[in-house]
Structure 1
Protein backbone atom coordinates (compact mmCIF):
# COMPACT_ATOMS: atom_id res chain seq x y z
CA UNK A 1 0.00 0.00 0.00
CA UNK A 2 2.89 2.36 0.71
CA UNK A 3 4.32 1.92 -2.79
CA UNK A 4 0.89 2.33 -4.37
CA UNK A 5 0.37 5.59 -2.48
CA UNK A 6 3.81 6.92 -3.45
CA UNK A 7 3.35 6.00 -7.13
CA UNK A 8 -0.08 7.67 -7.14
CA UNK A 9 1.29 10.91 -5.62
CA UNK A 10 4.28 10.91 -7.99
CA UNK A 11 2.08 10.41 -11.05
CA UNK A 12 -0.29 13.22 -10.02
CA UNK A 13 2.72 15.48 -9.50
CA UNK A 14 3.89 14.76 -13.04
CA UNK A 15 0.37 15.54 -14.32
CA UNK A 16 0.47 18.96 -12.64
CA UNK A 17 3.92 19.69 -14.10
CA UNK A 18 2.69 18.88 -17.61
CA UNK A 19 -0.62 20.78 -17.50
CA UNK A 20 0.57 23.80 -15.50
CA UNK A 21 4.05 24.35 -16.93
CA UNK A 22 5.00 22.36 -20.03
CA UNK A 23 1.86 22.06 -22.17
CA UNK A 24 0.88 25.79 -22.04
CA UNK A 25 4.24 26.65 -23.64
CA UNK A 26 4.29 23.74 -26.14
CA UNK A 27 7.22 22.18 -24.28
CA UNK A 28 7.49 18.41 -24.45
CA UNK A 29 8.57 16.08 -21.67
CA UNK A 30 10.91 13.14 -22.01
CA UNK A 31 9.66 9.76 -23.10
CA UNK A 32 6.44 8.65 -24.68
CA UNK A 33 4.57 11.25 -22.63
CA UNK A 34 6.34 13.91 -24.70
CA UNK A 35 4.87 12.44 -27.87
CA UNK A 36 1.45 12.33 -26.18
CA UNK A 37 1.81 16.03 -25.29
CA UNK A 38 2.73 16.87 -28.90
CA UNK A 39 -0.23 14.94 -30.31
CA UNK A 40 -2.51 16.55 -27.72
CA UNK A 41 -1.40 19.98 -28.92
CA UNK A 42 -1.85 19.32 -32.65
CA UNK A 43 -4.99 17.16 -32.49
CA UNK A 44 -8.35 17.59 -30.70
CA UNK A 45 -7.65 14.58 -28.46
CA UNK A 46 -6.87 14.95 -24.75
CA UNK A 47 -3.25 14.32 -23.73
CA UNK A 48 -4.31 11.92 -20.99
CA UNK A 49 -6.20 9.68 -23.41
CA UNK A 50 -3.30 9.75 -25.87
CA UNK A 51 -0.80 8.91 -23.13
CA UNK A 52 -2.84 5.87 -22.14
CA UNK A 53 -3.36 4.67 -25.74
CA UNK A 54 0.33 5.02 -26.61
CA UNK A 55 1.38 3.08 -23.53
CA UNK A 56 -1.31 0.38 -23.77
CA UNK A 57 0.43 -1.97 -26.26
CA UNK A 58 3.72 -1.63 -24.38
CA UNK A 59 2.03 -2.46 -21.08
CA UNK A 60 0.44 -5.56 -22.60
CA UNK A 61 3.82 -6.74 -23.90
CA UNK A 62 5.45 -5.81 -20.60
CA UNK A 63 3.05 -8.02 -18.64
CA UNK A 64 4.33 -11.00 -20.63
CA UNK A 65 8.01 -10.07 -20.79
CA UNK A 66 8.93 -8.11 -17.63
CA UNK A 67 8.59 -8.60 -13.87
CA UNK A 68 4.97 -8.78 -12.72
CA UNK A 69 5.26 -6.40 -9.79
CA UNK A 70 7.30 -3.85 -11.75
CA UNK A 71 4.86 -3.81 -14.65
CA UNK A 72 1.90 -3.74 -12.22
CA UNK A 73 3.25 -0.58 -10.61
CA UNK A 74 3.97 0.85 -14.07
CA UNK A 75 0.37 0.21 -15.17
CA UNK A 76 -0.81 2.04 -12.04
CA UNK A 77 1.47 4.99 -12.81
CA UNK A 78 0.32 5.23 -16.43
CA UNK A 79 -3.34 5.07 -15.41
CA UNK A 80 -3.02 7.72 -12.70
CA UNK A 81 -0.96 10.01 -14.95
CA UNK A 82 -3.41 9.64 -17.82
CA UNK A 83 -6.40 10.42 -15.56
CA UNK A 84 -4.51 13.37 -14.05
CA UNK A 85 -3.79 14.82 -17.50
CA UNK A 86 -7.48 14.42 -18.35
CA UNK A 87 -8.85 15.91 -15.11
CA UNK A 88 -6.33 18.65 -14.27
CA UNK A 89 -7.04 21.79 -16.33
CA UNK A 90 -4.31 23.25 -18.54
CA UNK A 91 -3.29 26.48 -16.85
CA UNK A 92 -0.34 28.77 -17.59
CA UNK A 93 1.38 29.38 -14.26
CA UNK A 94 4.15 31.54 -15.74
CA UNK A 95 4.49 33.52 -18.96
CA UNK A 96 8.22 32.79 -19.14
CA UNK A 97 8.89 29.60 -21.16
CA UNK A 98 12.39 29.18 -19.71
CA UNK A 99 11.01 29.14 -16.16
CA UNK A 100 8.26 26.77 -17.30
CA UNK A 101 10.75 24.36 -18.88
CA UNK A 102 13.11 24.45 -15.90
CA UNK A 103 10.55 24.08 -13.12
CA UNK A 104 8.39 21.76 -15.20
CA UNK A 105 11.41 19.51 -15.70
CA UNK A 106 12.33 19.63 -12.00
CA UNK A 107 8.81 18.79 -10.79
CA UNK A 108 8.52 16.03 -13.40
CA UNK A 109 11.86 14.64 -12.19
CA UNK A 110 10.67 14.64 -8.59
CA UNK A 111 7.48 12.80 -9.56
CA UNK A 112 9.24 10.19 -11.72
CA UNK A 113 12.06 9.85 -9.19
CA UNK A 114 9.74 8.87 -6.35
CA UNK A 115 7.89 6.51 -8.72
CA UNK A 116 11.23 4.79 -9.38
CA UNK A 117 11.95 4.72 -5.65
CA UNK A 118 8.69 2.82 -5.18
CA UNK A 119 9.86 0.20 -7.73
CA UNK A 120 7.71 1.41 -10.63
CA UNK A 121 8.17 3.49 -13.77
CA UNK A 122 6.12 5.99 -15.73
CA UNK A 123 6.00 3.66 -18.75
CA UNK A 124 6.79 4.67 -22.32
CA UNK A 125 10.44 4.65 -23.30
CA UNK A 126 11.41 2.83 -20.09
CA UNK A 127 9.45 -0.22 -21.23
CA UNK A 128 10.68 0.04 -24.84
CA UNK A 129 14.32 0.24 -23.70
CA UNK A 130 13.94 -2.66 -21.26
CA UNK A 131 12.34 -4.85 -23.95
CA UNK A 132 15.11 -3.99 -26.43
CA UNK A 133 17.73 -4.58 -23.77
CA UNK A 134 16.44 -8.12 -23.30
CA UNK A 135 17.27 -8.86 -26.93
CA UNK A 136 20.51 -6.88 -27.20
CA UNK A 137 22.82 -6.09 -24.31
CA UNK A 138 22.95 -2.33 -24.89
CA UNK A 139 23.19 0.26 -22.10
CA UNK A 140 19.68 1.19 -21.02
CA UNK A 141 20.52 4.85 -20.39
CA UNK A 142 22.01 5.34 -23.85
CA UNK A 143 18.90 3.95 -25.53
CA UNK A 144 16.56 6.19 -23.53
CA UNK A 145 18.75 9.22 -24.30
CA UNK A 146 18.66 8.42 -28.02
CA UNK A 147 14.87 8.13 -27.98
CA UNK A 148 14.57 11.41 -26.06
CA UNK A 149 16.76 13.08 -28.70
CA UNK A 150 14.14 12.07 -31.27
CA UNK A 151 11.48 13.85 -29.17
CA UNK A 152 13.58 17.04 -29.19
CA UNK A 153 14.02 16.94 -32.98
CA UNK A 154 10.30 16.30 -33.51
CA UNK A 155 9.52 19.29 -31.28
CA UNK A 156 11.70 21.50 -33.46
CA UNK A 157 9.97 20.50 -36.69
CA UNK A 158 6.41 20.50 -35.34
CA UNK A 159 6.56 23.68 -33.21
CA UNK A 160 9.76 25.74 -33.35
CA UNK A 161 13.42 25.32 -32.57
CA UNK A 162 12.94 27.57 -29.55
CA UNK A 163 10.40 25.05 -28.30
CA UNK A 164 12.90 22.26 -29.03
CA UNK A 165 15.55 23.98 -26.91
CA UNK A 166 13.09 24.52 -24.07
CA UNK A 167 12.17 20.82 -24.36
CA UNK A 168 15.86 19.98 -24.07
CA UNK A 169 16.11 22.10 -20.91
CA UNK A 170 13.08 20.30 -19.42
CA UNK A 171 14.43 16.84 -20.27
CA UNK A 172 17.86 17.72 -18.84
CA UNK A 173 16.35 19.06 -15.60
CA UNK A 174 14.16 15.98 -15.29
CA UNK A 175 17.15 13.67 -15.75
CA UNK A 176 19.30 15.46 -13.19
CA UNK A 177 16.56 15.36 -10.55
CA UNK A 178 15.84 11.68 -11.22
CA UNK A 179 19.57 10.89 -10.85
CA UNK A 180 19.57 12.71 -7.51
CA UNK A 181 16.56 10.81 -6.17
CA UNK A 182 17.03 7.49 -7.86
CA UNK A 183 20.48 6.05 -8.56
CA UNK A 184 19.45 3.44 -11.13
CA UNK A 185 23.03 2.91 -12.36
CA UNK A 186 24.16 1.53 -8.97
CA UNK A 187 24.23 -2.27 -8.87
CA UNK A 188 23.79 -4.27 -5.67
CA UNK A 189 24.69 -7.86 -4.88
CA UNK A 190 22.34 -9.65 -2.49
CA UNK A 191 23.33 -12.75 -0.53
CA UNK A 192 20.16 -14.24 0.96
CA UNK A 193 20.49 -16.97 3.59
CA UNK A 194 17.15 -18.63 4.26
CA UNK A 195 15.51 -21.84 5.35
CA UNK A 196 12.91 -21.33 2.60
CA UNK A 197 15.20 -21.27 -0.40
CA UNK A 198 12.81 -22.71 -2.96
CA UNK A 199 9.98 -20.37 -1.94
CA UNK A 200 12.23 -17.29 -2.05
CA UNK A 201 13.63 -18.38 -5.42
CA UNK A 202 10.16 -18.82 -6.93
CA UNK A 203 9.04 -15.45 -5.55
CA UNK A 204 12.03 -13.64 -7.06
CA UNK A 205 11.83 -15.35 -10.43
CA UNK A 206 8.09 -14.72 -10.73
CA UNK A 207 8.26 -11.00 -9.95
CA UNK A 208 11.78 -9.90 -10.87
CA UNK A 209 13.63 -10.01 -14.19
CA UNK A 210 16.88 -11.28 -12.65
CA UNK A 211 18.86 -14.50 -12.46
CA UNK A 212 19.39 -16.21 -9.10
CA UNK A 213 22.21 -18.56 -8.07
CA UNK A 214 21.52 -21.06 -5.28
CA UNK A 215 24.04 -22.82 -3.05
CA UNK A 216 23.71 -25.13 -0.07
CA UNK A 217 24.82 -23.77 3.30
CA UNK A 218 24.88 -24.84 6.92
CA UNK A 219 24.55 -22.83 10.11
CA UNK A 220 27.84 -23.09 12.03
CA UNK A 221 26.13 -22.81 15.39
CA UNK A 222 22.91 -24.77 14.79
CA UNK A 223 24.15 -27.17 12.12
CA UNK A 224 20.87 -26.68 10.28
CA UNK A 225 20.78 -26.63 6.50
CA UNK A 226 20.21 -23.33 4.73
CA UNK A 227 19.95 -22.15 1.14
CA UNK A 228 22.20 -19.29 0.01
CA UNK A 229 20.75 -17.27 -2.88
CA UNK A 230 22.87 -14.73 -4.75
CA UNK A 231 21.52 -12.18 -7.21
CA UNK A 232 22.54 -8.80 -8.64
CA UNK A 233 19.93 -6.05 -8.93
CA UNK A 234 19.79 -2.33 -9.67
CA UNK A 235 19.36 0.12 -6.81
CA UNK A 236 15.75 0.97 -7.62
CA UNK A 237 14.71 -2.68 -7.23
CA UNK A 238 15.97 -2.97 -3.65
CA UNK A 239 12.73 -1.89 -1.97
CA UNK A 240 10.73 -4.36 -4.04
CA UNK A 241 13.14 -7.25 -3.40
CA UNK A 242 13.24 -6.65 0.36
CA UNK A 243 9.45 -6.75 0.47
CA UNK A 244 9.36 -10.04 -1.44
CA UNK A 245 11.97 -11.68 0.81
CA UNK A 246 10.18 -10.53 3.97
CA UNK A 247 6.84 -11.85 2.68
CA UNK A 248 8.29 -15.35 2.23
CA UNK A 249 10.76 -15.52 5.13
CA UNK A 250 10.83 -12.68 7.71
CA UNK A 251 13.79 -14.41 9.39
CA UNK A 252 16.00 -14.50 6.30
CA UNK A 253 19.49 -13.04 6.64
CA UNK A 254 20.29 -10.70 3.74
CA UNK A 255 23.70 -9.18 3.07
CA UNK A 256 23.56 -6.25 0.61
CA UNK A 257 26.76 -4.90 -0.93
CA UNK A 258 27.35 -2.31 -3.65
CA UNK A 259 28.78 -3.84 -6.82
CA UNK A 260 31.46 -1.93 -8.70
CA UNK A 261 31.18 -3.77 -12.01
CA UNK A 262 29.25 -6.64 -13.60
CA UNK A 263 30.76 -8.68 -16.43
CA UNK A 264 28.54 -10.89 -18.55
CA UNK A 265 24.86 -10.90 -19.41
CA UNK A 266 23.24 -8.46 -17.02
CA UNK A 267 19.92 -6.77 -17.75
CA UNK A 268 20.54 -3.09 -16.99
CA UNK A 269 16.93 -2.06 -16.49
Structure 2
Protein backbone atom coordinates (compact mmCIF):
# COMPACT_ATOMS: atom_id res chain seq x y z
CA UNK A 1 0.00 0.00 0.00
CA UNK A 2 2.78 2.45 0.92
CA UNK A 3 4.61 1.67 -2.30
CA UNK A 4 1.48 2.44 -4.33
CA UNK A 5 1.05 5.73 -2.52
CA UNK A 6 4.72 6.53 -3.13
CA UNK A 7 4.44 5.88 -6.86
CA UNK A 8 1.29 7.98 -7.09
CA UNK A 9 2.98 10.88 -5.31
CA UNK A 10 6.03 10.67 -7.58
CA UNK A 11 3.78 10.83 -10.66
CA UNK A 12 1.88 13.78 -9.17
CA UNK A 13 5.06 15.72 -8.39
CA UNK A 14 6.46 15.06 -11.88
CA UNK A 15 3.18 16.24 -13.46
CA UNK A 16 3.12 19.34 -11.23
CA UNK A 17 6.64 20.36 -12.28
CA UNK A 18 6.13 19.59 -15.97
CA UNK A 19 2.72 21.24 -16.12
CA UNK A 20 4.05 24.37 -14.38
CA UNK A 21 6.96 24.58 -16.82
CA UNK A 22 4.66 24.22 -19.85
CA UNK A 23 2.33 26.91 -18.50
CA UNK A 24 5.24 29.31 -17.99
CA UNK A 25 6.69 28.58 -21.43
CA UNK A 26 3.30 29.25 -23.01
CA UNK A 27 2.95 32.59 -21.23
CA UNK A 28 6.44 33.70 -22.22
CA UNK A 29 6.09 32.55 -25.84
CA UNK A 30 2.68 32.23 -27.50
CA UNK A 31 0.67 34.30 -25.00
CA UNK A 32 3.20 37.11 -24.87
CA UNK A 33 3.83 37.18 -28.63
CA UNK A 34 0.13 37.30 -29.51
CA UNK A 35 -0.93 39.62 -26.71
CA UNK A 36 -3.46 36.94 -25.75
CA UNK A 37 -5.37 36.40 -22.54
CA UNK A 38 -5.45 32.78 -21.27
CA UNK A 39 -8.43 31.51 -19.36
CA UNK A 40 -9.03 31.59 -15.64
CA UNK A 41 -6.90 33.42 -13.12
CA UNK A 42 -3.84 33.10 -15.37
CA UNK A 43 -5.59 35.32 -17.90
CA UNK A 44 -6.85 37.64 -15.17
CA UNK A 45 -3.29 37.99 -13.90
CA UNK A 46 -2.06 38.91 -17.39
CA UNK A 47 -4.94 41.39 -17.75
CA UNK A 48 -4.07 43.10 -14.45
CA UNK A 49 -0.37 43.20 -15.35
CA UNK A 50 -1.02 44.84 -18.72
CA UNK A 51 -3.57 47.26 -17.25
CA UNK A 52 -1.09 48.52 -14.64
CA UNK A 53 1.60 48.86 -17.30
CA UNK A 54 -0.62 50.66 -19.83
CA UNK A 55 -2.54 53.01 -17.56
CA UNK A 56 -0.10 53.51 -14.68
CA UNK A 57 3.29 52.76 -16.18
CA UNK A 58 3.83 50.26 -13.37
CA UNK A 59 5.34 46.84 -14.09
CA UNK A 60 4.24 44.35 -11.45
CA UNK A 61 5.50 40.74 -11.15
CA UNK A 62 3.30 37.98 -12.55
CA UNK A 63 3.85 35.76 -9.52
CA UNK A 64 2.76 38.45 -7.01
CA UNK A 65 -0.60 39.03 -8.71
CA UNK A 66 -1.22 35.36 -9.36
CA UNK A 67 -0.52 34.37 -5.74
CA UNK A 68 -2.84 37.10 -4.42
CA UNK A 69 -5.71 36.14 -6.75
CA UNK A 70 -5.48 32.46 -5.87
CA UNK A 71 -5.39 32.80 -2.09
CA UNK A 72 -9.14 32.65 -1.49
CA UNK A 73 -9.98 30.02 -4.19
CA UNK A 74 -7.21 27.83 -2.73
CA UNK A 75 -8.83 28.06 0.69
CA UNK A 76 -12.22 27.11 -0.80
CA UNK A 77 -10.60 24.22 -2.68
CA UNK A 78 -8.92 22.98 0.50
CA UNK A 79 -12.28 22.91 2.29
CA UNK A 80 -14.51 21.50 -0.47
CA UNK A 81 -12.53 19.73 -3.21
CA UNK A 82 -9.61 17.91 -1.61
CA UNK A 83 -6.63 18.69 0.59
CA UNK A 84 -3.95 16.94 -1.43
CA UNK A 85 -5.43 18.24 -4.68
CA UNK A 86 -5.29 21.79 -3.29
CA UNK A 87 -1.71 21.46 -2.04
CA UNK A 88 -0.52 20.19 -5.42
CA UNK A 89 -2.44 23.04 -7.10
CA UNK A 90 -0.73 25.58 -4.86
CA UNK A 91 2.59 24.05 -5.91
CA UNK A 92 1.60 24.58 -9.57
CA UNK A 93 0.74 28.23 -8.84
CA UNK A 94 4.07 28.81 -7.06
CA UNK A 95 6.21 26.96 -9.60
CA UNK A 96 4.57 28.44 -12.69
CA UNK A 97 4.96 31.93 -11.22
CA UNK A 98 8.63 31.24 -10.49
CA UNK A 99 9.23 29.86 -13.99
CA UNK A 100 7.56 32.91 -15.60
CA UNK A 101 9.98 35.18 -13.73
CA UNK A 102 12.98 33.04 -14.77
CA UNK A 103 12.20 32.22 -18.42
CA UNK A 104 12.89 35.11 -20.83
CA UNK A 105 10.32 36.10 -23.52
CA UNK A 106 10.48 33.78 -26.54
CA UNK A 107 9.15 34.50 -30.04
CA UNK A 108 8.51 31.25 -31.93
CA UNK A 109 6.37 32.78 -34.69
CA UNK A 110 4.65 36.10 -35.22
CA UNK A 111 1.75 34.63 -37.22
CA UNK A 112 -1.18 35.44 -34.95
CA UNK A 113 -3.30 32.48 -36.07
CA UNK A 114 -0.49 30.00 -35.47
CA UNK A 115 0.22 31.63 -32.10
CA UNK A 116 -3.44 31.38 -31.14
CA UNK A 117 -4.02 27.76 -32.16
CA UNK A 118 -0.75 26.25 -30.95
CA UNK A 119 -0.76 28.38 -27.83
CA UNK A 120 -4.22 27.03 -27.02
CA UNK A 121 -3.09 23.47 -27.66
CA UNK A 122 -0.03 23.91 -25.43
CA UNK A 123 -2.21 25.45 -22.73
CA UNK A 124 -4.58 22.48 -22.91
CA UNK A 125 -1.69 20.01 -22.71
CA UNK A 126 -0.28 21.85 -19.68
CA UNK A 127 -3.66 21.77 -17.94
CA UNK A 128 -4.09 18.09 -18.84
CA UNK A 129 -0.69 17.25 -17.36
CA UNK A 130 -1.47 19.04 -14.09
CA UNK A 131 -4.87 17.33 -13.87
CA UNK A 132 -3.17 13.98 -14.48
CA UNK A 133 -1.06 14.76 -11.43
CA UNK A 134 -4.17 15.34 -9.29
CA UNK A 135 -3.61 19.11 -9.41
CA UNK A 136 -4.81 22.22 -11.24
CA UNK A 137 -3.68 25.74 -12.09
CA UNK A 138 -5.90 27.15 -9.32
CA UNK A 139 -8.50 29.89 -9.59
CA UNK A 140 -11.36 28.86 -11.85
CA UNK A 141 -10.01 25.30 -11.92
CA UNK A 142 -11.10 24.96 -8.28
CA UNK A 143 -14.54 26.21 -9.33
CA UNK A 144 -14.64 23.78 -12.26
CA UNK A 145 -13.69 20.79 -10.11
CA UNK A 146 -16.32 21.78 -7.52
CA UNK A 147 -19.00 22.01 -10.25
CA UNK A 148 -17.86 18.68 -11.72
CA UNK A 149 -18.13 16.97 -8.34
CA UNK A 150 -21.63 18.36 -7.81
CA UNK A 151 -22.97 17.61 -11.31
CA UNK A 152 -20.85 14.50 -12.03
CA UNK A 153 -20.16 16.00 -15.46
CA UNK A 154 -17.13 17.78 -17.00
CA UNK A 155 -17.45 21.52 -16.38
CA UNK A 156 -14.70 22.97 -18.56
CA UNK A 157 -17.15 24.40 -21.10
CA UNK A 158 -18.87 26.29 -18.27
CA UNK A 159 -15.53 27.84 -17.39
CA UNK A 160 -15.13 28.89 -21.03
CA UNK A 161 -18.37 30.83 -20.66
CA UNK A 162 -17.16 32.43 -17.42
CA UNK A 163 -14.00 33.59 -19.18
CA UNK A 164 -16.12 35.55 -21.66
CA UNK A 165 -16.62 38.29 -19.05
CA UNK A 166 -12.87 38.72 -18.63
CA UNK A 167 -12.37 38.79 -22.40
CA UNK A 168 -15.04 41.45 -22.77
CA UNK A 169 -13.08 43.69 -20.37
CA UNK A 170 -9.81 42.87 -22.15
CA UNK A 171 -11.36 43.68 -25.51
CA UNK A 172 -12.63 47.03 -24.26
CA UNK A 173 -9.25 48.00 -22.77
CA UNK A 174 -6.79 46.54 -25.27
CA UNK A 175 -8.71 46.04 -28.51
CA UNK A 176 -11.18 43.46 -29.71
CA UNK A 177 -8.78 41.65 -32.03
CA UNK A 178 -6.69 40.27 -29.16
CA UNK A 179 -9.84 39.33 -27.24
CA UNK A 180 -11.36 37.51 -30.21
CA UNK A 181 -8.16 35.59 -30.85
CA UNK A 182 -8.12 34.75 -27.15
CA UNK A 183 -11.52 33.09 -27.56
CA UNK A 184 -10.00 30.78 -30.19
CA UNK A 185 -7.04 30.20 -27.87
CA UNK A 186 -9.32 29.23 -24.98
CA UNK A 187 -11.55 27.08 -27.19
CA UNK A 188 -8.52 25.05 -28.36
CA UNK A 189 -7.33 24.73 -24.78
CA UNK A 190 -10.75 23.61 -23.51
CA UNK A 191 -11.13 20.94 -26.19
CA UNK A 192 -7.72 19.48 -25.39
CA UNK A 193 -8.58 19.33 -21.68
CA UNK A 194 -11.96 17.73 -22.44
CA UNK A 195 -10.16 15.08 -24.48
CA UNK A 196 -7.38 14.22 -22.03
CA UNK A 197 -9.23 14.66 -18.72
CA UNK A 198 -11.62 11.70 -18.38
CA UNK A 199 -12.34 11.71 -14.64
CA UNK A 200 -16.03 12.61 -15.02
CA UNK A 201 -16.64 10.59 -18.19
CA UNK A 202 -18.30 7.16 -18.00
CA UNK A 203 -18.62 4.12 -20.23
CA UNK A 204 -21.25 1.37 -20.28
CA UNK A 205 -20.16 -2.25 -20.53
CA UNK A 206 -22.34 -5.16 -21.65
CA UNK A 207 -20.44 -8.39 -21.06
CA UNK A 208 -21.58 -11.79 -22.33
CA UNK A 209 -19.59 -14.40 -20.42
CA UNK A 210 -19.38 -18.02 -19.32
CA UNK A 211 -17.56 -17.05 -16.11
CA UNK A 212 -19.86 -14.45 -14.53
CA UNK A 213 -18.73 -14.95 -10.94
CA UNK A 214 -15.07 -14.29 -11.75
CA UNK A 215 -15.93 -11.24 -13.87
CA UNK A 216 -18.25 -9.78 -11.22
CA UNK A 217 -15.58 -10.20 -8.55
CA UNK A 218 -13.05 -8.43 -10.77
CA UNK A 219 -15.39 -5.50 -11.45
CA UNK A 220 -16.20 -5.13 -7.76
CA UNK A 221 -12.58 -5.26 -6.62
CA UNK A 222 -11.00 -3.06 -9.31
CA UNK A 223 -13.68 -0.38 -9.81
CA UNK A 224 -15.96 -0.56 -6.74
CA UNK A 225 -18.95 -0.41 -9.10
CA UNK A 226 -22.00 -2.65 -8.99
CA UNK A 227 -23.11 -5.07 -11.69
CA UNK A 228 -26.54 -6.14 -12.95
CA UNK A 229 -26.67 -9.83 -13.87
CA UNK A 230 -29.06 -11.17 -16.53
CA UNK A 231 -29.39 -14.83 -17.52
CA UNK A 232 -30.10 -15.67 -21.15
CA UNK A 233 -29.64 -18.07 -24.04
CA UNK A 234 -27.24 -17.60 -26.94
CA UNK A 235 -29.39 -18.01 -30.06
CA UNK A 236 -26.59 -19.29 -32.31
CA UNK A 237 -25.78 -22.43 -30.29
CA UNK A 238 -28.70 -22.35 -27.89
CA UNK A 239 -26.36 -22.41 -24.89
CA UNK A 240 -26.94 -20.52 -21.61
CA UNK A 241 -25.12 -17.21 -21.28
CA UNK A 242 -24.87 -14.55 -18.60
CA UNK A 243 -25.06 -10.89 -19.54
CA UNK A 244 -23.46 -8.42 -17.12
CA UNK A 245 -24.28 -4.71 -17.24
CA UNK A 246 -22.18 -2.04 -15.52
CA UNK A 247 -21.09 1.59 -15.85
CA UNK A 248 -17.51 2.54 -15.01
CA UNK A 249 -15.19 5.54 -15.33
CA UNK A 250 -13.55 5.86 -18.73
CA UNK A 251 -10.09 5.60 -17.18
CA UNK A 252 -10.94 2.10 -15.89
CA UNK A 253 -12.18 0.66 -19.17
CA UNK A 254 -9.00 -0.49 -20.92
CA UNK A 255 -7.50 -2.29 -17.93
CA UNK A 256 -10.84 -3.82 -16.96
CA UNK A 257 -11.57 -5.14 -20.45
CA UNK A 258 -8.10 -6.69 -20.69
CA UNK A 259 -8.54 -8.34 -17.30
CA UNK A 260 -11.98 -9.73 -18.24
CA UNK A 261 -10.55 -11.25 -21.42
CA UNK A 262 -7.88 -12.95 -19.28
CA UNK A 263 -10.59 -14.43 -17.05
CA UNK A 264 -12.82 -15.48 -19.95
CA UNK A 265 -11.12 -15.49 -23.39
CA UNK A 266 -14.45 -16.34 -25.09
CA UNK A 267 -16.40 -13.40 -23.63
CA UNK A 268 -18.09 -10.74 -25.75
CA UNK A 269 -17.93 -7.12 -24.56
CA UNK A 270 -19.82 -4.12 -25.90
CA UNK A 271 -18.42 -0.76 -24.72
CA UNK A 272 -20.45 2.39 -25.30
CA UNK A 273 -20.30 5.99 -24.13
CA UNK A 274 -22.66 7.02 -21.34
CA UNK A 275 -23.94 10.54 -22.02
CA UNK A 276 -25.60 10.88 -18.61
CA UNK A 277 -26.61 8.69 -15.69
CA UNK A 278 -29.10 9.08 -12.86
CA UNK A 279 -28.86 7.30 -9.53
CA UNK A 280 -26.04 6.20 -7.27
CA UNK A 281 -22.62 5.99 -8.89
CA UNK A 282 -19.37 5.54 -6.99
CA UNK A 283 -16.93 8.37 -7.74
CA UNK A 284 -13.39 8.06 -6.43
CA UNK A 285 -12.90 11.10 -4.19
CA UNK A 286 -10.34 13.76 -4.97
CA UNK A 287 -7.68 13.66 -2.27
Match of 1:179 among 194, 197, 200: 194
Tell me the matched-pair count.
216
Please name the residue that 2:134 is paired with: 119
Q: In 1, Cα distance between the equivalents of 2:249 and 2:42? A: 24
1:171 shift after superposition: 0.5
**Per-residue deviation at 1:179?**
2.5
State the shift of 1:27 in Å.
0.3
Change (3 A) 1:213 1:95: closer
1:68 corresponds to 2:83: yes
- Residues 37/233 of structure 1: CA separation in 2 closer, same or farther (3 Å cut): farther
1:154 aligns with 2:169: yes
Whether the 8 Å CA contact 1:109–1:173 is kept in 2: the answer is yes
Note the 1:103-252 alignment, pairs <5 A.
103-131=118-146, 140-187=155-202, 192-193=220-221
Structure 2 stretches lacking a partner, 5+ long: 1-9, 53-58, 205-217, 227-246, 253-270
Report if the CA contact (8 A) 1:11-1:77 is conserved: yes
Contact 2:219 2:225 in 1 (8 A): no
Alignment of 1:23 with 2:32, yes or no, is yes
Query: Of 32, 38, 41, which aligns to 1:32?
Result: 41
Pair 1:88-2:103 in alignment? yes
Q: 1:148 and 1:183 mapped to 2: Cα distance?
A: 22
With normalisation by structure 1, the TM-score equals 0.68
Q: Which moved more, 1:258-267 or 1:21-30?
A: 258-267
Q: TM-score, normalization: structure 2?
A: 0.64
Residues 36 and 235 of structure 1: CA distance in aligned 2, closer, same or farther (over 3 Å):
farther
- Residues 92 and 137 of structure 2 are in contact (CA less than 8 Å); yes or no, is this contact kept in structure 1? yes
